[in-house]
A and B are shown apart, each in its own frame.
Chain A
Amino acid sequence: MNNKVQLDQVNIHFGKTHAVRDISMTFPENSVTAIIGPSGCGKSTLLRSMNRMHDLVPSARVTGKILVDNGDIYDRSVDPVAIRRRVGMVFQKPNPFPAMSIYDNVIAGYKLNGRLPREEADEIVESCLKRVALWDEVKDRLKSNAMMLSGGQQQRLCIARTIAVKPEVILMDEPASALDPISTLKIEELIEELKERYTIIIVTHNMQQAARVSDYTAFLYMGDLVECGETKKIFTTPEVKRTEDYITGRFG
């Protein structure tokens, strides 16, 4: 299987804090990789480096190489905006645009490409909402405000908004941690389906979730990559004692 995203000795600093140390690993195409670890271990920080979200934080410094399709996304010639269109992101809290309708939310990112004909927009909205299993719930009220939806629906709307841009990689930063169990289940089912088309990297501190949805798992602790490999192996026969302690709930 192809390696879609590849990290090579990635270090991330915030001012004097060394948040992520020397991480090298790969994320295979069309698979789900979970990044787990206790709070503050640098997993979100690592995730955000993969679509250059740290560019917004003046004190943040990313060194090493992050390759998407073997191209370094931190290369000088690369436009971060173009990278973010290839590497989409779903956040912890659902963050639809509150001033927009459901319809406009889905199309908000895609519309940035330029003017698009009405039929094309309709088509994209319908197919994206269908893919996140939201279409049947909202098809009669596409023009109503996105904030009228429940938290779980809002999160699925945000995923629809992300895939409308046609990314290759989707980063998910604890996408279900603000949701109830049933909504969480729906998001997990959705992740399972989405991996057929996209490479998914998900940060979670819910270990059952990591075990359920991911093909590969990486365990981070205090900014270091402790262990990574197939999820089955990490959860049954981890090589490092600390990994075992964490997944069995002895700390963290």
Chain B
Amino acid sequence: MEIDARSSYCSNETETKVASVTARRRPTQDTKKVNGDYVFRCLTTLFALSILAILALMIYEMTGESMPAIKAFGWKFVSSREWDAVQGNFGALPYLYGSVVSSVLALLLATPLSIGAALFITEVAPGRMGAIVAPLVELLAAIPSVIYGLWGVLVMAPWLQSTVQPFLIEHFGFIPLFQGAPYGVSMLAAIFILMIMVVPIITSITREVLLAVPQSQKEAAIALGATRWETIKIAILPYGKSGILGAAILGLGRAIGETMAVTMVIGNAPNISLSLLSPAYTMPSVIANEFAETTSKLHASALMEIGLILMVVTLVVNALARLLIWSVSRSAKGGAA
């Protein structure tokens, strides 16, 4: 009855446990089967290791290729704003700045939106509605980013240029964030497109996190006379806090690495400007735009170093997110017992 949901949730686990126990206990009379097992284990281990090997190889190669730039510029590479292919002076600061600002601001806008959507799906939506909305949200995550980019540059950017940006300039122009001319393609456009792209990811992970909140926690709040909102506030969100944080960080990782859609709407000008209306540039965009037409070895090496920085940042961000989600799922299991 009221424990149905929980028991069906648990039964998967117990079933697999039972299955693995019986598999282990099965007497091993047939030696051929044992050999097959051994080969299978070696093969899968090999496949798993090959992923690690590819990662290691990538880091090794990229570091090697970036060596000329690392030697030539050292730390100045990340602090200099000069990017001059003719003179052979390369500094990645504008790209770093563009990537970080666009991703972080997109995340700040997307996270509350995603938490709201996930709460709707898990707690508020009547009857089957949640079951219909949830896969639709996941579907959004599967749309190729070039489609988002196309929509961004053909529909959103002109709309920003004709409506949103003039409005911001007129009414909020006294804030440095909204000064300058309305170009359409801009940091703002990149923030919006990234926001739209990470919302599905954060929403679906947050949904998983919220589903993991034990029924007993919700009941505790409801039995105290909490309304639906109060239950969310005192029982559900605090319980899912670090998992939701992990979801947001995964979204950040996605936003930092996003290339195509951002390249299409950000304007691709290596500015460092406080104004969100001015065009900017990101690390993935500069790699995509310039790699085919590098003028020198150093130029190629500088792009490679940007790639290396990008990869390290993304790896760290993802590892952080996994760690948070892992810690929350572990404490959820321990706390229920």
Contacts and interface: CB of A to CB of B under 8 A. Distances in A.
Interface of A: 14, 17, 19, 44-45, 48, 51, 53-54, 56-58, 81-82, 84-85, 88-89, 91, 93, 95-100, 108-109, 112, 147, 158, 161-162, 165
B244 interface: no
Given A58-B127, A95-B216, A97-B217, A81 B227 contact: yes
B1 A51 contact: no
B239 A108 contact: no
Nearest to B234: A108
Interface string B307-337: 0000000000000000000000001000110
A51 B218 CA distance: 15
A98 B224 contact: no
Nearest to B2: A57
B225 A82 contact: yes
A44 to B, nearest CB: 7
Contact of A158 (B220, B241, B331): B220
A interface secondary structure, majority: mixed
Most buried by A among B214, B219, B225, B226: B225
- Where chain B touches its partner, the secondary structure class is helix
A97 B235 CA distance: 7
A226 B2 CA distance: 23
B216 A97 contact: no
B222 A84 contact: yes
- Report the 10 A-B pairs with minimum CB-CB distance, sorted nearest first: A109-B224, A85-B225, A99-B238, A89-B223, A95-B216, A84-B225, A95-B220, A98-B335, A81-B225, A14-B1
Contact of A51 (B127, B214, B220, B223): B223
B82 interface: no
Contacts of B2: 44-45, 48, 53-54, 57
Interface residues of B, number: 25
Interface string B204-245: 000000000010111111111111001000110011010000
A162 B319 CA distance: 41
A88 B217 CA distance: 15
A210 B227 CA distance: 33
Contacts of A53: 2, 219, 222-223
Interface in B234-284: 234-235, 238-239, 241
B239 A99 contact: yes
B233 to A, nearest CB: 9
A165 B219 contact: no
- Residue among B214, B221, B241, B336 with the highest chain A CB neighbour number at 10 A: B221
B90 to A, nearest CB: 48
Which residue, of B1, B2, B127, B217, has the highest number of chain A Cβ atoms within 10 A? B1
B237 to A, nearest CB: 9
Contacts of A51: 223
Nearest to B127: A58
Highest count of chain A CB atoms <10 Å: which of B224, B234, B331:
B224
24 contacts: A14-B1, A19-B1, A45-B1, A48-B2, A53-B219, A56-B219, A57-B1, A57-B2, A81-B226, A84-B225, A91-B219, A93-B216, A93-B336, A95-B217, A95-B220, A97-B239, A98-B335, A99-B238, A100-B238, A108-B224, A112-B226, A158-B220, A162-B224, A165-B224
A205 to B, nearest CB: 15
A214 B138 CA distance: 53
Contact of A99 (B220, B226, B241, B336): B241
A109 B219 contact: no
A97 B226 contact: no
Given A17-B1, A100-B238, A56 B222 contact: yes
A93 B337 CA distance: 9
